[in-house]
Structure 1
Amino acid sequence: MNIDLGGRTALVTGSTQGIGLAIAAGLARAGARVAVNGRTPDRVESAVAELRAAGGDVLGVSADVTTDAGVDRLLAELPAVDILVNNLGIFEAVPAREITDTQWRTYFEVNVLTSARLLRAYLPGMVDRGWGRALQIASDSAIVIPEEMIHYGVSKTALLALSRGFAKDVAGTGVTVNSVIAGPTHTAGVEDFVYQLVDPALPWDLAQREFMRAHRPQSLIQRLIEPDEIANMVVYLSSPFASATTGGALRVDGGYVDSILP
Structure 2
Amino acid sequence: MRIDLSGCTALVTGSTGGIGFAVATGLACAGATVVINGRQQARVAAAVERLRSAVPDASVRGVAADVGTAQGCDALLAAEPSVDILINNAGVFGPQDFFETPDSEWQRFLEVNVLSGVRLSRAYAPGMVERGWGRVIFISSESALNIPADMIHYGVTKTANLAVSRGLAKRLAGTGVTVNAVLPGPTLSEGVQAMLEGQVDGRSIEAVATDFVRSERPSSIIGRAASVEEVANMVVYVASPQASASTGAALRVDGGVVDTIA
Give the TM bin, normalised by the shorter chain.
over 0.9
1:129: which partner in 2?
131
Normalized against structure 1, the TM-score is what?
Answer: 0.96
State the one-letter code of the partner of 1:139: S
Q: Classify 1:9/1:216 alpha carbon distance in 2 versus 1 (closer, same or farther; 3 Å).
A: same
CA contact (8 A) 2:169 2:180 kept: yes
Asked if 1:245 corresponds to 2:246, the answer is: yes
1:192: which partner in 2?
194
1:231: which partner in 2?
232
Question: Gaps spanning 5+ residues in structure 1: where?
Answer: none
Over aligned residues, Cα RMSD in angstroms? Answer: 1.2
2:159 to 136, 157, 160: 157
1:85 to 87, 95, 109: 87
Give the Å deviation of 1:195: 4.8
CA contact (8 A) 2:9 2:33 kept: yes
2:121: which partner in 1?
119
2:33: which partner in 1?
33
CA contact (8 A) 1:93 1:193 kept: no
Question: Gaps spanning 5+ residues in structure 2: where?
Answer: none
1:2: which partner in 2?
2
Normalized against structure 2, the TM-score is what?
Answer: 0.96
State the one-letter code of the partner of 1:15: S
2:45: which partner in 1?
45
1:103: which partner in 2?
105
Q: Counterpart of 1:66 in 2: which secondary structure?
A: coil
User: Alignment identity in percent?
Assistant: 56
Structure 1 consecutive aligned stretches of length 4 or more whose deviation exceeds 3 Å: 199-202
Give the Å deviation of 1:209: 2.8
1:21: which partner in 2?
21
CA contact (8 A) 2:73 2:116 kept: no
**CA displacement, residues 159-201 of structure 1 (integer Å, 9 cap, x when unaligned):** 10010011111110000000001110001111222357xx463
CA contact (8 A) 2:214 2:224 kept: no
Output the CA distance in 2 between the equivalents of 1:156 and 1:222.
Answer: 23
Output the CA distance in 2 between the equivalents of 1:96 and 1:194.
Answer: 21
2:61: which partner in 1?
59
